[in-house]
Structure 1
């Protein structure tokens, strides 16, 4: 998904999955003391150098205090057995402190917030981290320079086959792999990738009817934004064997282009069936009238939160919730009622 689409759409969906520019709460925010060197002896696998969209970062030793400044990295770090000392509060209405896939891993007092729509650099510096992770943060160059003055910082992950100037988001597998290397937990990250991918494969194997069917995923935020394979939420549904709708533009969908959503299955994020049908063109699409549409009306549900996080912790939960609804939508029975997640 292109950056301008992400900036508009992610803020509405509560994750990232959504973005406003990341700036300082205070232009005079202190940069704190740099922590690029550690007094702890280097652990096996260190030092390690990570390439990212904003440069190259070397981590000299296993980090003891980690801050996550992006929109889903907290889950990735927790999944690898590390509790961050600070994390960004997700945008949107979903209460991430209650998320069922991670609640047992959160400390009793919670994790210190380092900002939401804007980063609080003073708070980050006060936590004295020796690693800052912004693997899915859309950091600006100014933000990155401020953060690197505090501690070694990893910027947005470069997707495979893309250059550093790419506006596409990395896959959750690529993000987890990079974070695993940074934490000295590369083997654990690889094993976790295999486990989560197995959940998708098991679902695809159990539902061969998904293969070859086209799916459209569209998010409403004042207008409709198709989510393609470069967006974690759009890519989620493709991992079951569905084929992507390549006729729509991720930058936005005009009223005249609504018929392009008439694919085998349609997922509508941010609108109920009644709200989507208020558009007479949408209401008359075969994918709507034949019950092949799944609606996610609000972004404050656990499924919406899990989809927005698109993390190794939240994805198995989202798979469990989505597969029965996808099976109903793809069953070929026009009498099937529309599903809601």
Structure 2
């Protein structure tokens, strides 16, 4: 599903948003201070200089960075997962309070990480933090904003997904994002090991639940309309990693009218943004066999920890999301029409 088609739908749905970074908003909280040193990103297994290719060109990082700023929608988690504390980070959009996220709370410094903006980036704040590396691997940076950031410090732009060109609007997988960030920090081997660990969590779930394999799953997000999330969206792809097959009837832009909700009648359905009662207020939805037979999982609010973990889609949040999701999916796929639908 193309990200630009979800502009309205995703603005309130958590860390992964469709708003491009641009200048001016002051979202800082003590962000102007330059006295706090970030955790050094020692070269470790990586050799410098290293050149990173991305959608807006290539960036050469001459030496191991020690003051990292993240300007995208989930990179803070990726950097923390590799043992580096950024000196500044973008505040996620949406209603979820990311400062409380259980998968990262032990890694956050007292007082939190200074904000460099939210819907818009604050370039003055970023400059005042004196970064030696800026990471925007999942930021959907415009060229003008990238140029401003590059004038401050070497900047890694959006990751090019495998098999795509630099003009693609598709998002890279979390594995591809982690690989690029690992190289930029001189921690490529650590990133590879972490990838194997997280992929192992998914594989453990697949092995424990062979009933998932071969069943179809639909993931629908409601935000002033219905949007079906497919494998091109990290949240849609999350559920496919358990062995489910993708709904073959996904439309080109993911948008569904109330009548087209009938296309969601697959073996398992995941509803983001509505409770069971809210979803069933649509008579078409209420009549779906996947609903009446208890084969649906509901994530009614975007400010829950599960929704936040799913939105971040990071190597820190994904294990938490797997742990939460598997029992709910097992209940939905158990073949018992009397099963009470799970809520996450």
TM-score normalised per structure 2: 0.93
Q: CA deviation at 1:199?
A: 0.2
Query: How do residues 96-245 of structure 1 correspond to structure 2 at under 5 angstroms?
Result: 96-245=98-247
Corresponding position: 1:55 with 2:57 = yes
Question: Does the 8 Å contact 2:48/2:186 carry over to 1?
Answer: yes
Corresponding position: 1:324 with 2:327 = yes
Q: Which residue of 1 aligns with 2:259?
A: 256
Q: Which residue of 1 aligns with 2:5?
A: 5
Structure 1 runs of 4+ aligned residues shifted over 3 Å read: 41-44
3-state SS, counterpart of residue 92 of structure 1: coil
Question: Does the 8 Å contact 1:4/1:251 carry over to 2?
Answer: no
> For 2:298, which of 286, 295, 299 is the aligned residue?
295
Q: Could you tell me how far apart the structure 1 residues matched to 2:232 and 2:65 are?
A: 30
Question: Does the 8 Å contact 2:229/2:254 carry over to 1?
Answer: no
Q: Which residue of 1 aligns with 2:29?
A: none
Q: Could you tell me how far apart the structure 2 residues matched to 1:95 and 1:112 are?
A: 15
Unaligned runs of 5+ in 2: 26-41
Q: CA deviation at 1:21?
A: 2.8
Residues 161-208 of structure 1: CA distance to partner in whole angstroms, max 9, x if unpaired? 111111111000000000000000000000000000000000000000
Provide the aligned C-alpha RMSD in A. 1.6
For these two proteins, the number of residue pairs brought into alignment is 328
Q: Which residue of 2 aligns with 1:34?
A: none
Corresponding position: 1:22 with 2:21 = yes
Q: Which residue of 2 aligns with 1:246?
A: 248
Question: Does the 8 Å contact 1:5/1:225 carry over to 2?
Answer: no
Q: CA deviation at 1:256?
A: 2.7
Q: Could you tell me how far apart the structure 2 residues matched to 1:6 and 1:279 are?
A: 21
TM-score normalised per structure 1: 0.94
Q: Which residue of 1 aligns with 2:97?
A: 95
3-state SS, counterpart of residue 149 of structure 1: helix
Question: Does the 8 Å contact 1:262/1:286 carry over to 2?
Answer: yes
Unaligned runs of 5+ in 1: 27-40
182-191 or 147-156, larger mean C-alpha shift: 147-156
Q: CA deviation at 1:42?
A: 8.2
Q: Could you tell me how far apart the structure 2 residues matched to 1:10 and 1:183 are?
A: 30
3-state SS, counterpart of residue 166 of structure 1: coil
Question: Does the 8 Å contact 2:71/2:121 carry over to 1?
Answer: yes
Q: CA deviation at 1:7?
A: 2.6
Residues 196-240 of structure 1: CA distance to partner in whole angstroms, max 9, x if unpaired? 000000000000000000000011111111111111111100000
Question: Does the 8 Å contact 2:43/2:185 carry over to 1?
Answer: no
Q: Could you tell me how far apart the structure 1 residues matched to 2:197 and 2:6 are?
A: 28
